[in-house]
């Protein structure tokens, strides 16, 4: 993923709402988890925009996001629960774009994509 151009408004929102008072990767992971959990209005439809070796989704495939994955599964990446082939499965949020979601959900997903594209890590 190409490095995103710095967006000062998005940076401020992320620092003020997602990772405020977070010191270290563990606290940032929790901050991101709570931020996304509060803002993702599930269920919503999403499209896979990038393949990952750790996910069965193919680019262009559409799924329903049903929830954030449990905190313990989001220590190094933000994962969401989807319905896929009649099963519940956690996949990286970075590989999905919201296609049928409200404005707050779309913005939160875009915030995570921005974080990843800037090369920030948990």
Tens-place pLDDT, residues 40-80: 999 999 999 999 998 999 999 999 999 999 999 999 999 99
**Could you tell me the domains of the chain?**
8-117 (2.30.30.530)
Q: Where are the alpha helices (DSSP H) in 5-74?
A: 8-13, 25-39
Span 97-119, average pLDDT: 96
Give the pLDDT score at 2.
Answer: 58
Span 9-26, average pLDDT: 94
List C-alpha distances in Å: 49 to 46, 52, 81, 119.
Answer: 9, 10, 16, 18
Give the pLDDT score at 28.
Answer: 96
Phi first, then psi, for residue 19 (nearest 5°) are -120, 25
């Amino acid at each position: 993923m190409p490095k995103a151009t710095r967006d000062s408004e998005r940076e401020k929102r992320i620092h003020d709402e997602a990772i405020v008072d977070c010191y270290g990767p563990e606290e940032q992971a929790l901050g991101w988890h709570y931020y996304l959990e509060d803002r993702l209005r599930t269920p919503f439809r999403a499209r896979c925009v990038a393949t990952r070796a750790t996910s069965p989704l193919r680019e262009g495939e559409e799924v329903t996001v049903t929830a954030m994955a449990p905190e313990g599964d989001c220590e190094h990446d933000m994962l969401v629960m989807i319905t896929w082939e009649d099963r519940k499965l956690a996949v990286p949020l970075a590989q999905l774009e919201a296609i049928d979601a409200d404005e707050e959900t779309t913005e939160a997903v875009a915030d995570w994509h921005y974080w990843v594209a800037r090369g920030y890590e948990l």
